[in-house]
């Protein structure tokens, strides 16, 4: 077992606003902008050319993926929606069928090959667990055998052939084979057990070397896991509840971290520079 290194970085606010639960940071290479969501308020935020903009709906917004020239696919409490452009009205693609009122879409992104994939969260921690879904051509949601009270940590290897996801409650990160051309996937197997680290695995991304970066909720840190499943670095973060990480920006090495509010203050969106490069986020193309 390799010894991980602590990597101390200087973070600055990407924006000065505070958030209840900021999540899903994405580098929008189409618009040269950073985007993220504020889940409880149903908000999609964009920082473009130094100007922060927000779209807001009366529907908890868990995640967003890029579609078309400037649009998004949105995973919300009520279902999956298409936003054809920043200014457009959203259109429902498919509702989220659920047996518990606190079930909602949580973590999600565009998969290699152009499908939208997202997991759900049951905040009540009783009844049905959350699970991952894959949006197929024709607007059908395919249920995937990947279950957790809080489905998190969805990311893909640079080649697109490996799918990663995290069960926040158990602190386990899984991996499975994935076929971008067909959307077929293999059995999930434990990739990394993070029970020995502070916090619990939340949102994640993958760098160009194939390493998996995951925010450790309530752990004040981000963990980088090599493609071999060994933790290489632990990065302290000046927020209590980091929720997700992303790599992007003009040079690809800008690290952005979102967080949730705590007793010490609101959630923040923070940024710094690192020595690793991100990979380009794919578009949703099945619609």
Q: 202 an active-site residue?
A: yes
Annotated catalytic residue, options 107, 167, 202, 240:
202
Sequence-ordered list of residues with C-beta below 8 angstroms from that of 74, at least 6 positions apart, any chain: 44, 61, 63, 64, 80, 81, 82, 83, 90
How far apart, in whole angstroms, are the C-alpha atoms of residue 189 and residue 174?
Answer: 5
Q: What residue numbers does the annotated binding site for substrate cover?
A: 104, 106
How far apart, in whole angstroms, are the C-alpha atoms of residue 23 and residue 64?
Answer: 10
**Residue 56 contacts residue 270 (beta carbons within 8 Å):** no
Sequence-ordered list of residues with C-beta below 8 angstroms from that of 276, at least 6 positions apart, any chain: 207, 208, 209, 211, 247, 253
Q: Residue 41 phi/psi, 5° resolution?
A: -90, 0
Q: What residue numbers does the annotated binding site for a divalent metal cation cover?
A: 23, 152, 202
Sequence-ordered list of residues with C-beta below 8 angstroms from that of 23, at least 6 positions apart, any chain: 36, 37, 38, 39, 62, 63, 107, 203, 243, 244, 258, 260
Q: Which of 224, 226, 214, 225 minimizes the C-alpha distance to 258?
A: 214
Cα angle at 75 between 135 and 18, to 5 degrees? 155
Q: What residue numbers does the annotated binding site cover?
A: 23, 104, 106, 152, 202
Which residues are tagged catalytic?
Answer: 202
């Amino acid at each position: 077992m390799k010894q991980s290194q602590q990597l101390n970085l200087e973070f600055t606010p990407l924006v000065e606003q505070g958030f209840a639960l900021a999540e899903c940071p994405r580098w929008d290479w189409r618009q040269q902008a950073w985007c993220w969501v504020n889940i409880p308020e149903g908000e999609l935020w964009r920082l473009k050319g130094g100007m922060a903009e927000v779209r807001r709906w009366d529907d908890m917004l868990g995640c967003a993926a890029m579609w078309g020239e400037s649009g998004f696919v949105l995973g919300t409490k009520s279902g999956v929606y298409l936003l054809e452009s920043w200014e457009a009205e959203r259109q429902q693609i498919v509702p989220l069928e659920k047996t518990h009122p606190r079930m909602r879409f949580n973590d999600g992104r565009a998969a290699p090959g152009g499908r939208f994939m997202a997991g759900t969260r049951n905040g009540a921690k009783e009844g049905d667990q959350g699970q991952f879904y894959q949006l197929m051509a024709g607007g059908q949601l395919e249920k995937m055998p990947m279950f957790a009270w809080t489905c998190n940590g969805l990311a893909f290897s640079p080649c697109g052939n490996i799918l990663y996801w995290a069960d926040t409650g158990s602190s386990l990160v899984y991996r499975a084979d994935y076929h971008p051309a067909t959307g077929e996937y293999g059995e999930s197997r434990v990739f990394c057990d993070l029970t020995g680290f502070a916090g619990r695995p939340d949102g994640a991304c993958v760098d160009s070397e194939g390493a998996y970066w995951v925010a450790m909720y309530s752990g004040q840190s981000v963990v980088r896991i090599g493609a071999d499943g060994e933790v290489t670095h632990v990065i302290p973060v000046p927020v209590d509840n980091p929720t997700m990480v992303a790599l992007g920006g003009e040079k690809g090495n800008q690290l952005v971290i979102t967080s949730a509010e705590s007793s010490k203050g609101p959630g923040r969106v923070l940024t710094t520079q690192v020595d690793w490069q991100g990979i380009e986020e794919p578009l949703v193309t099945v619609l």
